[in-house]
């Protein structure tokens, strides 16, 4: 490859490593050079990734890498969206070379994590990916950034501990560090250890996937991270947690057929629990998104909610559920990257994401508004966009398997999507233009062109879902899982029915176009000046009226009992209780009494001698 006598896996690692170093060194000399070097690095990496052989083994240290359909899918998402975000970074020359260095290393670690075929390589790449995220959130420092980065680091360490403990159980029980050896030997493990290992893995990966109750780092981290990077963090890096959950839930446990557990609605109780966690995550996070005052936090909670949909599909575990979950993983990656990039552009032009301080930007940023509508349509699962087939499959799976109560929660979460998305669009783009934003301009070319690049697959896969369904079927076949096989380029068929995405999309578009036409030619529309407001007999003066603060207060008031439920309060109680116990222990042991210290030393020596004596026996 390229006339270089080097294994493609080694070449890929060299491209990421050298690209990161060169970008860091040369980026100090030119503000735009670091971005172009990043784009070149990612372009070369993508080409090599698409031509990787099936497997590669590194002898010293002993590491195994390989590629399959699942890692290919997530790798394409990582490199594709990473490249688009990097192109948008051309509009952010103020970002330091340190950021670009970490950004390239992060993508490289993510790709090699997906290619890892043994526990050591996987964990090393997982940690490198996590530490580079920490570095990018921290950035140049600051109190709020430092707090958000520290919170992320603590949660990441907890997740890594779960994963490492699970890996130790699997390696010890199967006498193998390779995924293939573990899958082959997992059936010989005691049932309790097998369940414990899989549960620990899911808990560890749930931290990165922002699944409740492992989600509390997300709002702060998303709010404080560099604005364009937040798009990559939410759209792509959260999917690495989803990738890990797929490995634990389906690959290692073979859909839990090896675990002697009762079934509920045809699903193993473990899967049933995951489905409930996913549904509660989707519902709870959507309610919290409604009451947010800052747009980045609104999208952060929205992201948590949508990731709950994916876990819900995995928990169902049927062919339709698996396909729907994978489809929604792709869908979420696309529309959430788009929405966060749009918000990054708004913040770049206005300097704020506080929705009460925005409004009326449709007049100044019409392109951003149009693509915000595109992202919102996909988020809400409207026909024509990728969000419709992905959510349709999840709903079909839930109804087909008889998940009645969780289906109600999922539908309620979908209703909440319309509410917080409407607030997002109205508060930022509609209503009256803020006086401070009279001179605002549309975002630069690199940003709005990235909108177009992301919107193409949003519409293409929404109208022609067959290509994605083919990939999902191949993934299911590879891991001996049930697959949806009754589909064409435009049509998907399940036991409950079928739909033609192209026809449904065209009908929806025609209906929308007809309504728009009536709006423009209708005789009842009367255009008035922005400040033509009714003041009930008061002096007729220009007044700005933009409803952006406490937008859904009437709902918050009615849902107040639900809002009192807080995972953060539980963690706060545990932290305070732990601090109290530790303080009491400290006061008891470190009392300043020399005689007490002599007692402690004597007891310790006796225990040590007894332990040595027992070992020798």
Least confident of 19-33, 236-250, 457-471, 554-568: 554-568
pLDDT confidence of 258, banded at 50, 70, 90?
very low
Mean pLDDT rounded to a whole number for the chain: 85
Q: How far does Cα 597 stand from its chain's mean position? A: 51
Residues 355 and 463 in one domain: yes
pLDDT of residue 256: 46
Residues 571 and 521 in one domain: no
3 pLDDT more than 60? no
- DSSP conformation class of 62: T
Of the candidates 41, 70, 388, the one whose C-alpha atom is nearest the C-alpha of residue 239 is: 70
Domain around 400: 264-525
255 pLDDT more than 50? no
pLDDT of residue 329: 94
Residues 589 and 504 in one domain: no
Residues 399 and 474 in one domain: yes
Q: What is the mean pLDDT of residues 55-79?
A: 82
Residues 450 and 504 in one domain: yes
Interatomic CA distance for residues 291 and 563, integer angstroms: 10
Q: Quick one: angle between helices 466-478 and 69-88, nearest 10?
A: 130
Residues 497 and 591 in one domain: no
Residues 489 and 596 in one domain: no
pLDDT confidence of 531, banded at 50, 70, 90?
low
Last residue of some domain: 525, 551, 575? 525
- 491 versus 527: the higher-pLDDT residue is 491
Specify the pTM: 0.87
The total number of structural domains in the chain stands at 2
pLDDT confidence of 87, banded at 50, 70, 90?
very high
Q: What is the mean pLDDT of residues 489-516?
A: 87
Most confident range (mean pLDDT) of 73-77, 496-500, 580-584 is 73-77
pLDDT of residue 512: 85
Residues 288 and 371 in one domain: yes
In-domain check, residue 280: yes
Q: What is the mean pLDDT of residues 380-407?
A: 89
Both tokens of 42, joined, read 């990612």
> Residue 380, Cβ neighbours under 10 Å: how many?
18
Residues 585 and 475 in one domain: no
Q: What is the mean pLDDT of residues 243-266?
A: 67
pLDDT of residue 527: 67
In-domain check, residue 251: no
Residues 514 and 574 in one domain: no
pLDDT confidence of 499, banded at 50, 70, 90?
confident
Phi and psi at 58, nearest 5°, equal -100, 125
Q: What is the mean pLDDT of residues 212-237?
A: 90
In-domain check, residue 300: yes
pLDDT tens per residue across span 108-159? 999 999 998 888 889 999 999 999 999 999 887 778 888 989 999 999 999 9
> Alpha helix locations (H) across 291-403?
295-316, 319-350, 366-380, 387-401
> How far is CA 302 from each of CA 318, 383, 465, 560, rounded to the nearest angstrom?
26, 20, 24, 19
448 pLDDT more than 90? yes
pLDDT tens per residue across span 339-386? 999 999 999 999 888 888 888 888 899 999 999 999 999 998 899 999
473 pLDDT more than 50? yes
Interatomic CA distance for residues 47 and 49, integer angstroms: 5
């Amino acid at each position: 490859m390229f006339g270089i006598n080097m294994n493609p896996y080694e070449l890929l690692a060299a491209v990421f490593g050298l690209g990161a170093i060169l970008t860091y060194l040369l980026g100090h000399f030119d503000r735009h050079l670091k971005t172009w070097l990043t784009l070149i690095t990612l372009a070369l990496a993508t080409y090599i990734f698409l031509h990787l052989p099936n497997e590669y083994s590194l002898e010293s240290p002993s590491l195994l890498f390989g590629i399959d359909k699942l890692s290919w899918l997530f790798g394409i998402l990582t490199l594709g969206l990473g490249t688009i975000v990097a192109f948008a970074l051309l509009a952010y020359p103020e970002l330091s070379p340190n950021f670009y260095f970490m950004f390239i290393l992060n993508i490289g670690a993510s790709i090699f994590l997906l290619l890892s075929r043994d526990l050591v390589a996987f964990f090393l790449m997982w940690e490198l990916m996590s530490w580079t995220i920490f570095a990018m959130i921290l950035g140049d420092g600051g109190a709020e950034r430092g707090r958000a980065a520290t919170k992320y680091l603590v949660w990441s360490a907890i997740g890594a501990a779960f994963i490492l403990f699970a890996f130790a159980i699997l390696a010890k029980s199967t006498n193998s560090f390779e995924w293939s050896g573990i899958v082959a030997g997992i059936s010989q493990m005691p049932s309790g250890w097998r369940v414990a290992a899989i549960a620990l893995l899911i808990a560890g990966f749930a931290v990165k996937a922002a699944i409740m109750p492992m989600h509390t780092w997300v709002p702060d981290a998303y709010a404080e991270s560099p604005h364009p990077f937040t798009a990559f963090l939410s759209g792509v890096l959260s999917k690495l947690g989803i990738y890990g959950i797929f490995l634990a839930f389906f690959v290692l446990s073979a859909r839990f057929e090896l675990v002697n557990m009762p079934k509920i609605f045809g699903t193993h109780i473990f899967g049933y629990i995951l489905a409930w966690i996913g549904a509660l995550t989707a519902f709870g996070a959507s309610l919290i998104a409604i009451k947010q005052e800052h747009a980045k936090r609104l999208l952060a909670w929205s992201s948590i909610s949508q990731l709950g949909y994916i876990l819900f599909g995995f928990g169902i575990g049927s062919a339709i559920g698996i396909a729907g979950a994978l489809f929604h993983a792709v869908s979420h990656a696309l529309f959430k990257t788009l929405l966060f990039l749009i918000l990054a552009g708004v913040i770049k032009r206005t300097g704020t994401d506080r929705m009460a301080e925005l409004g009326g930007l449709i007049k100044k940023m019409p392109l951003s508004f149009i693509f915000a509508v595109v992202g919102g349509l996909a988020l809400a699962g409207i026909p024509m966009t990728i969000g419709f087939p992905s959510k349709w499959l999840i709903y079909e799976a839930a109804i087909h398997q008889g998940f009645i109560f969780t289906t109600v929660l999922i539908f309620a979460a979908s209703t909440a999507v319309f509410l917080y998305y409407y607030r997002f669009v109205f508060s930022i783009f509609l209503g009256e233009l803020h006086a401070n934003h009279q001179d605002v301009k549309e975002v630069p070319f690199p940003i709005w062109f990235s909108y177009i690049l992301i919107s193409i697959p949003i519409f293409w896969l929404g109208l022609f879902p067959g290509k994605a369904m083919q990939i999902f079927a191949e993934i299911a076949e590879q891991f001996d899982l049930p697959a949806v096989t009754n589909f064409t380029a435009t049509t998907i068929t399940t036991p409950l029915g079928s739909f033609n995405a192209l026809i449904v999309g065209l009908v929806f578009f025609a209906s929308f176009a007809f309504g728009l036409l009536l709006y423009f030619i209708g005789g009842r529309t009367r255009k008035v000046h922005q400040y033509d407001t009714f003041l009930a007999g008061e002096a007729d003066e220009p007044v700005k009226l933009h409803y952006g603060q406490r937008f859904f207060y009437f709902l918050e008031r009615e849902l107040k009992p639900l809002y009192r439920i807080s995972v953060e309060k539980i963690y706060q109680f545990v932290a305070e209780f732990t601090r109290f116990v530790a303080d009491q222990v400290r006061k008891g042991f470190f009392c300043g009494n020399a005689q007490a210290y002599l007692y402690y030393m004597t007891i310790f020596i006796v225990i040590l001698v007894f332990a040595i004596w027992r070992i020798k026996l």
